[in-house]
Structure 1
Amino acid sequence: MPFYPSYDGTRLHFDEVGDGPPVLALPGGPGTDVRYLGDLGGLAAGRRLIRMDARAAGRSEVPGDHATVSFVEQARDVEELRRFLGLTRVDVIAHSAGTLTAQEYAVAHPGRVRRMVLVTPVGRAAREPDAAELAALRASRAEEPWYQAASAADAALRAGGLSREAEVMARARMVPFSWHRWSAERRRAEYVPGHATSLPWLREAFYDGSSTEPDRLARLAASRVPVLVIAGASDGLIGTAPARLVAAAYPDSRLEVMPEAGHRPWAEQPDLFRTLVDDFLSAGQPPRV
């Protein structure tokens, strides 16, 4: 199994799916095993997806210093993988919380990212959902058979004071809000036991210090990386507001809101997702012979 040593000696895992121009794929969660991305709706048919397991997630090692799990620090892991693979410039595709790592990498290592795809991003420097939009998205599902249990779990999480076990169960009950269409088959196909992190400190460590740099938004605005931002119109986990904020932060960006998708749009509208990403990444590339 392929591992590489990062800057502090932590052994991090990656794998490769498909063949073609390389694309670094960063997972969300934070802390979710990268295998949940699959082949990103068939994107691997024409691209070499290099899927990274973040530190303390998936098959990668847990570092001794928990502070290195911050998304700001994890951008260093992306650079170490690029160097390990001997790539000069890379395309990057990231999902959810992983989009914070991708954005940090693009501004910390200018010239290393050719194009960047941010899928259902959580925000620019932290989670930035719009509470009113989320409430409306969730209320629109009131006729669904799972709604009462999911809504009660939502209220319990907002009230706080839950044990670790109760919090995990509540988040599991809220999963249907993340999808345009939800079913028991979807749960079995998408949520593999062991893929989500079991480390109680990881989520806080990932976001820690995310807003401490006052010029972060200015750094994003100064980026010259072309950016495609993809949101799901039915994403009741984070909404579309963060995607709109992210797209507005970059001078060379494009926003696409997929109409019949939630938080994992490649799984619900794979053909549209693949077309959007392929067309965007193909711009400026020489044709394959």
Structure 2
Amino acid sequence: MSVGIDDVEYVTLHGKRRAYVKKGTGPAVLLLHGLACDHTTWAQVIDELAEKYTVIAPDLLGHGLSDKPRADYTLGGYANGMRDLLTVLGIDKVTVVGHSFGGGVAMQFAYQFPERTQRVMLVSTGGLGPEVTPLIKLIQVPGWFRVVGLLTLPGIRHAETFALRAAAEYGDVGPLRKYTRDLDEIADIVDSWKDRRTRFAIRHLVRAVIDWRGQIVTMSDRAYLSEAMPMAVLWGAEDQVIPVLHARNAGALAPDVRVDVLADAGHFPHKDHPEEFVRLLDDFISTTEPASYNRARFRRMLKAGATAPLGPLAAVAAAEARDEAVTPA
């Protein structure tokens, strides 16, 4: 079986149509794609995951088959949209998996809605350092919208996507492999930019999270909160979009985070090694207890902060022990 157009369903939220794929039964897993991609980036893993889990793979607003309105394309706006989609689908709690920009949405979702988040897996994610490929920074350049409009005219676009896919196929050997492995995905992105509404959405999205110095949004100031929620990070060793050193940043920011780096993989490790991706995600879910949200404990963690001498959870535990000691029997 494979994910096709017949598997796509639609729901209208706040007057905007959202596309999504929902398959399987069992614990819920929300798969969030990256910048300028859509649910099809997960096509090689959805069916296998659906044998054990309820898999929800949406097209984020402004992407794929979802509407592309003049709207809120911030991380917070996307997190709100995912909460509303899950609510309509009758799903209360999820393990959230986010790739690239979708990783930023996943982190924002977990931060805004910890009571609905059981675990987080970040795949080649944004938000762990400022570095990002200059090609994404160029989206902010004045005139990008018009230039890309010309470059995606019929004929020109066909020649570009043919060249990118040919390079991906025939350059998939030897030392050039790490530079060509993701070109077929880039060809799909270029093809999607023929739609001016898609270009509009992508431009506004990028401006919300990236400037000339690189990524604006970071999890570094809130990484200590991951102590109360299982988190895993997965990266491709040959990622040319967001450097793999960001995976090490995750380990430094939050020592309890699981970090896996896949050899012979680029920015889309779930596509380069789908079976290994499924294995790692299943192992992560199977061997960790889902986070249990407690408002009082979350408040104590925020008050303790990242600078607590023994770490925020240790500080919270100590505070709770003191409270119990002075509470009358």
TM score, norm. by length of structure 2? 0.64
Give the conservation status (yes or no) of the 8 Å contact 2:149–2:194.
Answer: no
User: Given that residues 16 and 49 in structure 1 are in contact (C-alpha distance below 8 angstroms), is that contact kept between their aligned partners in structure 2?
Assistant: yes
- The within-5 A match list for 1:39-188 is 39-40=44-45, 42-65=48-71, 68-124=72-128, 128-129=130-131, 163-165=147-149, 173=164, 180=178, 182=180, 187=184
Deviation, 1:197, is 7.5
Q: Distance in 1 between matches of 2:255 and 2:271?
A: 29
In the other structure, the counterpart of 1:204 is 203
Distance in 2 between residues matched to 1:243 and 1:50, nearest whole Å: 25
Stretches of structure 1 lacking an aligned partner (at least 5 in a row): 135-153
Q: Deviations over 1:226-276 (max 9, x none)?
A: 111000001112221233334443353111000121111122222322211
Give the deviation of 1:80 after TM superposition: 0.6
- Indicate if the aligned counterparts of 1:33 and 1:195 stay in contact, CA closer than 8 A: no
Larger Rg: 2
Does the 8 A contact of 1:57 with 1:197 survive in 2? no
> Which residue is equivalent to 2:293?
none
Bigger proportion of residues as helix: 2
Higher relative contact order (CA 8 A, sep 6+): 1
- Correspondence for 1:4: 11
The one of 33, 36, 40 aligned to 2:38: 33
Cα distance in structure 2, aligned partners of 1:192 and 1:215: 25
Partner of 1:230: 234
Q: Deviations over 1:178-230 (max 9, x none)?
A: 9648579x839x94885568422323321344489999643342242211100
Q: Which amino acid aligns with 2:57?
A: R
Q: Are the equivalent residues in 2 in contact too, given 1:21–1:47 (CA < 8 A)?
A: yes
Q: 2: CA distance between counterparts of 1:24 and 1:129?
A: 26
Q: Which amino acid aligns with 1:218?
A: D
> In 2, distance between residues paired with 1:234 and 1:215?
22
Distance 1:282 1:31, change over 3 A: same
Contact 2:262–2:269 at 8 Å: present in 1 too? yes
Aligned partners of 1:31 and 1:197 also within 8 Å: no
Partner of 1:22: 28
Measured on the aligned residues, the alpha-carbon RMSD in Å equals 3.9
Q: How many residue pairs are counted as aligned between the two chains?
A: 255
Per-residue Cα deviation, 1:69-109 (whole angstroms, up to 9, x for no partner): 12221110111112112222111111111111111010011
Provide the rounded CA distance (Å) in 1 between the counterparts of 2:217 and 2:97. 26
Mapped contact 1:34–1:58 kept (Cα < 8 A): yes
| Distance across 2 between alignment mates of 1:268 and 1:25 | 17
CA offsets 1:31-73 (integer angstroms, 9 cap, x no match): 32212211427333322211111011111112333xx112221
Say if 1:14 and 1:51, in contact at 8 Å, map to a contact too.
yes
Equivalent in the alignment of 2:4: none
Aligned-partner residue type, residue 33 of structure 1: D
* CA apart distance, 1:114: 0.4
Relative distance call for 1:165 and 1:18 in structure 2 (3 A) is: same
Change (3 A) 1:56 1:203: closer
Report the identity percentage: 25
CA distance in 2, matches of 1:129, 1:179: 22
CA contact (8 A) 1:122 1:243 kept: no
Aligned counterparts of 1:39 and 1:231: Cα–Cα separation in 2: 17
